Amino acid sequence: MEETRDVVLAELGRMERIVDRLLLVERALSPEFLRLTPTPAAEFVTSVFRRWPATADRRWVLDGVAPGSVPIDVDQLTLALDLMLENAVAHTGVGDTIAVGSGSVDGHLVVRIRDTGKGIDADVLPHIFERFFRGDRGRSRRTGGAGLGLSVSRAVVRAHGGEIRVASAPGAGAAFEVSLPGLCEGEPIAGAPNRLDRHGGLELAPQPADADVHHV
């Protein structure tokens, strides 16, 4: 009986998270969704990164941070990046590397999340931001999530006027970039790149504007 109760409570919790994330995606379309505040870019990216090394046995790397400030909703954008990092953890294993870095490109803050995991098949890549899409069809509902995390990330980023790009290949890991407008560049930070370089030979491509085709 106790085991049955635990299963039921876990399923109810999972359903509640699904509903919350679906509502967030819809709210992201509202002009009142964000509360933008000029935020130090380096401080923000570093604070998101520092909470993760204790959560999973991976090789975590902070790969440079951009100077300056950017107008963002800290809570919502933290959620978006957390969901992307959660996705990176789910598709890597012990000994893999997850790297987080940021730089500036043409007045945009670009946050980069890379991993050395199993990568994403070419036929899956155009669909990973769709609601309820799970690229690894072998993962169960209970272990693989609802397939909403990246769709939430994209909704939050687009509410900021930004965009997410992704590149991957089987066995070559994955590289995500979040581009956010309005960066006011400050003094360079020692050891931090002012502009993002290409990494790993993966060509990043924007997701189609109409890629989100699954609705409930």
The type of residue at 30 is S
> CA-CA distance, 71 to 10, in Å (whole number)?
37
Where in the chain does DSSP place strands (E)?
Answer: 37-40, 59-62, 69-72, 97-105, 108-115, 163-168, 174-181, 205-206
On whether the CB atoms of residues 64 and 93 are closer than 8 A, the answer is: no
Give the predicted TM-score (pTM) of the model. Answer: 0.74
The reported pLDDT for the residue numbered 127 is 82
Q: How confident is the model at residue 129 (pLDDT cuts 50, 70, 90)?
A: confident
Report the helix count and the strand count for the chain, using DSSP H and E: 5, 8
2-206 CATH? 3.30.565.10
In this model, does residue 98 exceed pLDDT 90?
A: yes
In this model, does residue 136 exceed pLDDT 90?
A: no
Query: Residue ranges per domain, the chain?
Result: 2-206
Average pLDDT for residues 43-69, to the nearest whole number? 94
Average pLDDT, the chain: 76
- Burial 109-147, CB ≥16 within 10 A → b, else e: bbbbbbbbbbbbeeebbebbbbbebbbeeeeeeeeebbb
Count the neighbouring beta carbons within 10 Å of the beta carbon of residue 101.
23
Q: Which structure tokens are listed for 8?
A: 């039921």
The reported pLDDT for the residue numbered 62 is 95
Taking the chain, what is the end-to-end CA distance rounded to the nearest angstrom? 33
The reported pLDDT for the residue numbered 122 is 87
In this model, does residue 140 exceed pLDDT 50?
A: no
Average pLDDT for residues 172-200, to the nearest whole number? 70
Give the residue with greater pLDDT, 81 vs 132. Answer: 81
The reported pLDDT for the residue numbered 125 is 86
> CA-CA distance, 208 to 163, in Å (whole number)?
10
The reported pLDDT for the residue numbered 197 is 43
